Structure 1
Amino acid sequence: MFKELLKNPVALFWAIIIHLLVLILLIVGFQLNKTPQPPEESVAVAVNGLKPLAEQTSEPIEAPYPIDDPTSKTKAQAEAQAKAEQEAERQRLAEAKKRQQAEQAALEAERKQEAAERKRQAEQERQQALADASKAKAEAAKAEAERQQALQAERERKEAAEQALEEAQRKADAAEQALAEKQRQQALAEEQERQAAAERELERERRKAEAVEKQLAEERQARLQAEQAWEEKQKQLQAERDAEQQALIRRVEAEARQQREAEEKQQAAEIERKIKEAEEKRLADEKRQAEEKALAEKRAAYQEKWKAEQEKLKQEAEAKAKSEADKQRAEEAAKRKAEEERKLAEAKTREDQERRLRETSERAREQRARDQAEAEAKTKVAEERAKQEAEKARQEAIAKQNSGPSPQAMENAALAWGAQIKRRVSSRWNQPTDTFGMRATVSLSIKPPGHIRDLRVTDCNGSPQFCESLTAALYKSEPFPEPDLPELYNQNLRLIFEP
């Protein structure tokens, strides 16, 4: 009860006032009902020669008429007045109590009504919050499902493109390896004369390949950062749950698709460039210095063209990004049409790439057929020349049979020694993970008693970790086994390593 009064200060004030009034009335009533004290008994005083008055007896004297007792009359009136006042006070207190009860009842009803209203509002707010949360959760789940589907489709398409590119790269490498091996078998002496120039050219190619690999790594890193930024931005936009969020997400996805398309085009151009460089290298080997100069000019022109295309793509991307903010609302209506056009463009691009690959493969096959015919013709000429010089060679061989091994013996011994070196290096090679399709060509010169004199990785289409691990394995394999012919020391060996 006291806690309820503290909550209602008005009721507490009136309760204190009423209690004070009751206390005052009780005090007044006690004073009125108090019995009057009788007068004190007289004390006899002795005076010389006189009798005390107290000892004198008085006789009652009857009055000639009846006399009212004023003391009893006053007491009766006071009692009647006190009773009347008490009755009036009780009635007033009863009325005050009724008013207090009515006020308390009204206040209690008002509090109950306010509590019910607050409870109803709280329930409505809770229901609204639950509805909003459920709606937001459904929208977030739907957006997440769409994002996962888009990412899965993109990953599958990217994996298919990478597999196609790896297959094309493997075929190009196989064609280059077969062509190089055939040329080596047909013109070993000529290859030795051109070896220095070829090694310089291969070194330049390796540096260019490293630059391209570095650029690709930077682009992959940039793409990864862009994807991470896109995912972070998508999470923030999903919390906002509005139309602008969806527009921004689609814009970021469009930018990512454009970037991936540019990378795919660049990779396709890189494949075409490698195939073209293989053909130009073969022509350069046949035409020597003149064709090498033409090849260098073509490569420079291609690099300039590639740089110009990249700069153009970069400028277009920057211009598009700058105008994207102004075109967000206008693009919403044309988005479905743009998506259809994009799909058609992607299909057309894939068809063009496949057609170019088929044409390139066909040209490579035709070129190999021409090379084979030319090689056969050269072989016939060489056979005729060999027949003419056979007698002379035989005489020289008889005269010099103790002077040193024959070229065929040198070649056989070099092949056997190279196989031993590759087995030794492979047993000490700590290869990195995911080396499928990687390949490296090494130019190696060994000095007695089996230490490296000169080591160069002339061609490596793998990652930098792959090339570095191969170099480390070569140095860990020292000393190498002895060759069958000591003349092979300080000679350049061309070894191909594939995981």
Structure 2
Amino acid sequence: MNAQKKVIVSDESFIKRVVSSPRFLFYSILIHVVFVAVIVLSLDWNTKAKPTPHVIQATAVDESKIKAEMEKLRLADEKKKQLADAQKKKLDDAKKARQREEKRLADLKKKREAERRKLQAEEKKRKAAEKRRKAEEKRRKEVEKKRKEAEKKRVAEEKRLKQQKQEQLKKLKAEEARLEEQMRREEEQRIKAAEERKKQQERERIRKEEARIRQQQMAEEQRRLDAAREREYQSIVDKHVEIIRQKITRNWLQLRPAGSVAGLACTVRVRIIPGGGVRDVQITRSSGDAVFDHSVERAVKKAEPLPLPADRALFDRFRDLEFIFNPED
């Protein structure tokens, strides 16, 4: 009975340990299986035994050994857990170290890239400065070359001018002598020319006076002819105006309104086109009788083509004709 009590485990801490760790639970079950197997093997399985009931003698298992084994398993499991935690920590540390190394390498790469760019920029500046220096040196040499050429030209020009001045002085003396001789001759010619000019001016004055007299006579003759032609033109115009008035009067007498009052007259403006056609008729000064005025307009239109002079040069005097119409004149 006491042995059975030893088998029963009532330790709450043991149960908690079993429940909290699946691995510990596995080993606990395994131990119990071994324990049951030991009990089974300890039984007497002789077939010749009497059929009478046989009392099973259970072999007692020491609980302390089980606890010791369980503790051993727990410690082993804890050690494995510690090893796993250590391995995990090692891996985490390695990962962090790797990340730090990657960051260091990235920073180093950035730093080297910045240094490379800086070196490139400095090299670019150096090359630009060298280029400017060479350009300045080239410009300075060109300026110096031009200065020397200019100096050479200046010296040559001074020499040329000096020689030219000497030649000019020589020529000037010869020119002065020539001018003196020329002035003497020109003075003689001037005196002769002045005398000739006076004679020519007198001849020109006489010619102009004669021309003026002839022009005056011709102008007077032209004015006389123009006046005669104007009188002739005006006579023709007056004659044809009268003919036009008479033709209009004859037409008006045919169109005379019934009950027309005697003594009526109006001023008529007729615009005539070449050939005698009437373009427009206006009563510029009414007779006071609208019927009479209208009959005059119709008489003018009926009279076209109006008789015009054969000379086309006189047409402009009839282009815009205005006259007083009085059928009793």
Question: Structures share a fold, TM > 0.5?
Answer: no
- Larger Rg belongs to: 2
